Structure 1
Amino acid sequence: MSERHRVAEQEPLAGDDYLISDAGRERQLAFFRNPEVPDYIQRLVEGYIERKTTKAWDDPVVLDRMRNAILVQKSRYWKGQQVSYRKAYQVLGYLAYHAPVYLVQFEHILWQIIDQGLAKPHMRILDVGTGPGVVPLAVIDLLGRIGGGSAEVYAIERSEEHFEAYNALVPAAAAAQGDAVRVEKPIREDIRALVVEDLPDRIDLMVFSNVLNELRDMEIEERADLVARLADRLAPDGTIVVVEPADLENATAMRQTVRAIMDRGLTIYSPCSFIWGTVCNPKRCWTFEQKSNIRPTRLMERLAEGGDAYRFINVDIKYSSALLRKDGKTQHAYRVPSGAKFARFSHLHRHRDRTINVVAALMSGNLGDDRTKVYKVCDGTAANPVYAVIPATLRGPNRDIFEGLAYGDIVEFSRVLVKFNRDHNAYNLVILPRTRIEPIRGSEGQDAGTGARST
């Protein structure tokens, strides 16, 4: 293998090759195998806590106040109430409990952007609603680790306490990792009151990370209007990232918001594929990605020593996200060929208790357990959720039929059994011993099989 190679096997954007060394790629993949918040970032957070409280970061009084802040935040979140970050310990609780997961989470998303050829050697990034700067910290950490690429980072935040934390953490992290990332002075403003013309132009990456769900006074259409308005500052070949928590309410609201943004002229690059050339109904679209758990930070471990450890250890990487573009580019250009004999999900009611052939995108990891495995699948036509199910009674190689497939991969299914789940008003595609799947390798549909009629 050559010393340096292109990140993705795609044509470079704007004539630019984004090169990364093999060693840099392996360092990042090793990080994902055993993810944890790097020590230099943990030390920056601990130092900031000490400056804010004038006590040691693990002082019992400090830890107890952070525990209280975390419990209040979690309670308000699950009640659907606005979470406030106007006080110091509210932000310190966020840094202790939420930030570690969100940091690694965004590194996964940024790596996807790089790996799929959407990044540039130098990127202008705007983080909308940055909080204490988790997204910029992820950018700094990843680019520093891979040793390739550079960025200038702009950010918007309204909370004075978040603003202060950002200024204490982000520039210091950038300095610790060299000169790859230039941190611009953040803009203090409510994102709902932004004057678009005051923002930097030709943004390559515009990020809405765990922020749209906090605009609880805005309807779905209003959130979509906001994103579409700010997209005016996006470069012609730039990318918008929308990411939200994986719980049912926020994940489905995010899909509805992204679908509404699409109606305003942007294209969903991923994960949605629209393989039948039709638009979808996202009202019951609960999909999310899951990655390897992170290692708890030192701060988390100390917070957990006070009892009820599960309340203060947050290590699960689960998130719902979407990438959008202005240039019409999509991850998968595949469309079901005319005349191909696959059943649409919108027609599954015609095939109850029969074995059929379908084509769909894999839209989740295993939502079940080790015995009964459940995967969300989508072809863009269904009003009811559809799941591929590996029953507990199935034996043989088909128990691992989805191994090696990635989130968003398009797959042909042959000979799956259609069952209606009355309790959940959903359809199950039951994997049988004779079921076969075939990933779609071509992007233009030329590799699609013809399938067969339901039997």
Structure 2
Amino acid sequence: MSERDILLALERRAGEKPEFRLSELQKDLAAGQSLEDLAGEVRPQIDRLGLTIRPSDGDYVIGRRAGPLTVDDAGRERQAAFFRNPEVPETIQHLIESYITRKTGKPWDDPAVLDRMQNAILVQKSRYWKEQRVSYRKAYQVLGYLAYHAPVYLVQFEHILWQIIDRGLAKPHMRILDIGTGPGVVPLAVIDLLDRIGSASAEVYAVERSEEHLEAYNALVPAAAAAMGDRVQVKKPTRGDIGEIAAGDLPDRIDIMVFSNVLGELRHMRIEERADLVAALAEQLAPDGTIVVVEPADLANATALRQTVRAIADRGLTIHSPCSFIRGTACNPARCWTFEQKGDIRPPRLMERLAEGKDGYRFVNVDIKYSSALLRKDARVQHAYRVPPGAKFARFSHLHRHVDRTINVVAALMSGNLGDDRTKVYKVCDGTPADPVYVVVPATLRGQNRDALRDIAYGDIVRFHGVLVRFNKDHGAYNLVVLPGTRVEPAA
């Protein structure tokens, strides 16, 4: 059976109807191998013809490539309502509680079980703040993760996945690979969001090195997906270390490849080595696929993420967001501490029980703050805006020339309000600064400019006409002070 035979058979079937099954093609070709092996053979020709292939009821469905995933108004409202009052869905809470009960042989809220989880959480937090690698080789280390970290990470990834969908980067059927999946928080978020919006399907692949994490994954993720029929196909996770796995050991044509709270754990690797790793694994990405990199919002991890993402871009991928290189120059991320913040989640039952008693606050983790980036193979970016030649906007790299003067600038908004209700502070960037730059709305300012940035989204480009430049010697940073006469407007 030659490539030409496959190509002709695919063309004939695709010309007859918009969708057909691989078993039909198998009969046409008189192919003797399994459907799974045949799927591997036909995939290169499917890509050439602009078709797609997805598993369905023990077979595969081949069809014409659709446009980006669209979500109807009802699905959008359901997801918006979830983000207004985010919490771990009841079904996932129940799965986690049931797993703890099976794993320990005691009720999930047994005092002895809760006590051991509390101890595991305290050890994890201590190692994290000491910038030491956190181990998940023992049962209670994983149970502590499920209780303390997983709720926030689940909702956090739903925010990221919704961004991908909302920006037209997602497909009606997606192949998703979560590298360093842990107990499967990212796949659980995918399942929950797709179930809520009522559209799209996915194949979910995962890589994890910890046996304890994999045990939890296998108990939670397939069970969560089962309620969706065949819309989410959960593949058997691959056991392996991210630093040692080869690209060829992973599935190909991945639409979304996720590194969630993983690269920062590779403390034995330099930034350049982490970038090499991601670039190598990106060989498995579809031509229009997306890489997601996520890390915690603290200074060390968030800054390292920006440095790693910049290094990945140097290896041929494109930073889609949140960074916008509006001056057409590469940035210097050495001091780039920027992150997103979303609304707090409601504590799940397990977290509430852990928080009972003295010092219970140590076991409450509800605020969503994270640093992230999307990268693409196809050079697609969120904002194509570039500062027009000759435009009267000062570069941030030239701010030292304008201290105590009023100037015009254009930049991307790279944070929410880092100050308080009185003095508002926002990080901004135009891709050129060596030192951090912040827009400051002083407590004394009155009028409409107090809320000029309230409705500007993270990563969007803003023009500021008439801001006062100050240099903060204590922090080695520039402040752009908004005045009563300053004009703030989104860039076209």
**Does TM-score exceed 0.5, indicating one fold?**
yes
Corresponding pairs, count: 429
Distance 1:344 1:290 in 2: 27
1:378 to 429, 445, 448: 429
User: Residue 342 of structure 1 aligns with which residue?
Assistant: 393
Do the aligned partners of 2:66 and 2:171 also contact (CA within 8 Å) in 1?
Answer: no
Do the aligned partners of 2:76 and 2:197 also contact (CA within 8 Å) in 1?
Answer: yes
User: Residue 181 of structure 1 aligns with which residue?
Assistant: 232
User: Residue 449 of structure 1 aligns with which residue?
Assistant: none
Do the aligned partners of 1:125 and 1:153 also contact (CA within 8 Å) in 2?
Answer: yes
Distance 1:177 1:385 in 2: 46
Higher Cα Rg: structure 1 or 2? 2
- How big is the shift at 1:392? 1.1
User: Residue 262 of structure 2 aligns with which residue?
Assistant: 211
2:113 to 47, 62, 67: 62
2:315 to 264, 277, 294: 264
Q: Which amino acid aligns with 1:244?
A: E
User: Residue 32 of structure 1 aligns with which residue?
Assistant: 83
Segment of structure 1 superposing worse, 244-253 or 173-182: 173-182
Q: Which amino acid aligns with 2:422?
A: R
Please state if 1:280 is matched with 2:331. yes
Please state if 1:197 is matched with 2:248. yes
Distance 1:395 1:68 in 2: 49
Distance 2:392 2:482 in 1: 19
2:186 to 128, 135, 138: 135
SS of the equivalent of 1:242 reads strand
Do the aligned partners of 2:399 and 2:469 also contact (CA within 8 Å) in 1?
Answer: yes
Distance 2:239 2:322 in 1: 32
Q: Which amino acid aligns with 2:172?
A: P
Give the 5 Å matches for 1:236-275: 236-275=287-326
Distance 2:156 2:182 in 1: 15
Distance 1:17 1:224 in 2: 28
Do the aligned partners of 1:144 and 1:178 also contact (CA within 8 Å) in 2?
Answer: no
- How big is the shift at 1:78? 0.1
Please state if 1:80 is matched with 2:134. no
Q: Which amino acid aligns with 1:20?
A: V
SS of the equivalent of 1:336 reads coil
RMSD across aligned positions (CA)? 1.0
User: Residue 405 of structure 2 aligns with which residue?
Assistant: 354
SS of the equivalent of 2:428 reads strand
User: Residue 433 of structure 1 aligns with which residue?
Assistant: 484
Say which structure, 1 or 2, has more relative contact order (CA 8 Å, 6+ apart). Answer: 1
5+ residue gaps, structure 1, are: 1-12, 442-455
1:320 to 371, 384, 387: 371
User: Residue 9 of structure 2 aligns with which residue?
Assistant: none
Do the aligned partners of 2:295 and 2:305 also contact (CA within 8 Å) in 1?
Answer: yes
Q: Which amino acid aligns with 1:270?
A: S
SS of the equivalent of 2:189 reads helix
Do the aligned partners of 1:141 and 1:177 also contact (CA within 8 Å) in 2?
Answer: no
User: Residue 369 of structure 1 aligns with which residue?
Assistant: 420
Q: Which amino acid aligns with 1:398?
A: N
Do the aligned partners of 1:421 and 1:427 also contact (CA within 8 Å) in 2?
Answer: yes
SS of the equivalent of 1:135 reads helix
User: Residue 447 of structure 1 aligns with which residue?
Assistant: none
Distance 2:407 2:349 in 1: 52
SS of the equivalent of 1:434 reads strand
User: Residue 452 of structure 1 aligns with which residue?
Assistant: none
Structure 1 15/168 Cα, relative in aligned 2: closer, same or farther at 3 Å?
Answer: closer
Distance 1:14 1:258 in 2: 30
SS of the equivalent of 2:394 reads coil
Do the aligned partners of 2:427 and 2:437 also contact (CA within 8 Å) in 1?
Answer: yes
- How big is the shift at 1:174? 0.4
Q: Which amino acid aligns with 2:82?
A: F
- How big is the shift at 1:179? 2.8
- How big is the shift at 1:306? 2.7
SS of the equivalent of 2:409 reads strand
Distance 2:127 2:391 in 1: 50
Distance 1:177 1:41 in 2: 13
- How big is the shift at 1:396? 1.7
Do the aligned partners of 2:174 and 2:203 also contact (CA within 8 Å) in 1?
Answer: yes
- How big is the shift at 1:17? 4.3
Cα deviation code 1:386-421 (max 9, x no counterpart): 000011111122111111110001000000000000
- Percent identity over the alignment? 80
Q: TM-score, normalised by structure 2?
A: 0.86
- How big is the shift at 1:14? 5.6
- How big is the shift at 1:15? 4.6
SS of the equivalent of 1:208 reads strand
Q: Which amino acid aligns with 2:272?
A: E
Distance 2:95 2:105 in 1: 15
- How big is the shift at 1:58? 0.4
Please state if 1:390 is matched with 2:425. no
User: Residue 453 of structure 1 aligns with which residue?
Assistant: none
Please state if 1:53 is matched with 2:104. yes
